[in-house]
Structure 1
Amino acid sequence: MHTHSVRPTHRTHPTHRAEPRRTAGPGPVLRAVERLEHSPRPDGLAAAVRRVVRAAPLGRARDVLHGVPLGHPAHPLLVQVPIGAWVSAAVLDLLPGEGRAARVLIGVGLGAAAPAALSGWTDWAELPPEQARVGLVHAASNVSALSLYGASLAARARGRPVAGRALAFAGLTCVGVGGALGGHLAYRQAAGANHAEAVPHTVGPGWHRLGPVSDLTEGRPVRATVDGVEVVVVREPDGAVRMLAERCAHMAGPLSQGEVADGCIRCPWHGSVFRLEDGWNVTGPATAPQPAFDTRVVDGRVEARLRRAPGT
């Protein structure tokens, strides 16, 4: 009897590593905007304009322009009227006819552009350099649009409807450029975003132990950490321990370096004032309140838990 060895009938193949997918990098437009972000050339002009905007005697209207009563920036809301009016005028300009309705819409857009621009400049004056540089070109595009729409109305009044329509379409092009830069500011650079929004999604439920209460000096803000999230802790004159998220909702400024007065803490970067008791934004430019924590003292040590909305 003969025995035969059985050999496997399948063949083994060398292991192949997957080639990384080659994707296109940023396009020329995005590269140009990124170069603008990092170019210091506009900084001198930005500083001069910022001084003028901050010196304007707006009083409490400044908070309204920031959007504090709304809980989010007012500028994106206000720009809807001029943009909507001008897009509607463009549609009417494509239709045959005398074009009176288009002229009315262009005028409405010009009138509504004033409060939108004022709110935009108010927000812009509190932005860091990278965002301020893009914001200047955003504003320049919109100023160009205003000039072109004004010239369009003048041309139509002089009986030159073709030139008036051409100027209006040029204005709409500038509005589009400005809108694209505004989108870059809002979504790429997070201008106007709530920079403390992630805190409720990061801090776990329940009580978290911190350091000894004896380490806290009355009225002096101290930076600490709760479940990996930075917080600012203040011991008030009555012995109450107050705690807020450390990074300001406006532009992530360090609140522990701010000033404490009258039961509030002031951000050292742009001056937003938050109530220590509950994190409410008393004054802007912050439009969102600061996440607040409940505190208690157990065996001489501070414990904290994130204060969540009822029902969450």
Structure 2
Amino acid sequence: MSAKARNGSGPSAGPGNLSTAEQRAVSTTAGGVHSPYDSPTGQFPRVAMTKEIPAMASVGSGDKPGETPGPVGPGGTGTDDSTYTYASIPPSGTQPTGELRRRNGDGRRGTLDFGLFILRLVVGGTFLYHGLQKLAGWFDGPGLDGTKEMMEKGGWDHPSVAAAMLTAGEVGGGALLILGLATPLAAGAVLAVILDAWMWKQGMIPDFQYSTGDTAVEMDTILAGGAIAIIFTGPGRWALDRGRTWATRPGAGSVVVLVLAFAAAILTYWYLQDGNPLTGIGPFD
């Protein structure tokens, strides 16, 4: 056999007759790479061969004629381990998930959080104002003694208990609403309070007392609606509860809070007032 054939340069040369350098050259281009710019690094991705042709990664070290070079990368021969990191580049163009967008402060809520903050200020501030009238006598209020006397004249049993519950609900619930802290509990508390006030005023005179005289329930209805809205929307991000689930994504728990608030108001009215507030309204004539 001629030296030309032995060196693998003749037409009959096969894979087994190639020199080690030529085998390495063939192995690095066998993965279908057409341009150095097929890789974002601008280099031939030598590791691409081992991913596309797994069989070549399991054959010898390439140091002997007739053997295919081993895997390129960690544990491979003749290769710097740093080149293996080219295969670990993640695909680009992936979009962050909804949870990640929320954690990063996605601003697509627009002015929603500011609007909820205003709603909490108005509703919570109104309850706190009336609560401080009853608790401390501020803003020309009656104070605790005057509140107890008012409840007694209004037909409430155990007027001291009724006055304490009313004052605690207005002051505590109103303050927590303004802060946006424990918002479901705060909104449920003020809702129960205003529902009792609604039933008390409505029960004084037959027929619907929405906007007539001192027994009008118009303001009470608006405040009850605001409290219910906060229960179902949450306080928003301008609140101390901003890290809680209910701050921006309230769920079925909102319905539970609403039911409990109505139940507390009805049971309190039944136990301390003992009357039917709907007398004279529609089917309750």
The TM-score normalised by the length of structure 2 is 0.26
Q: Which has the higher helix share?
A: 2
Larger-Rg structure? 2
> Normalising by structure 1, what TM-score?
0.24
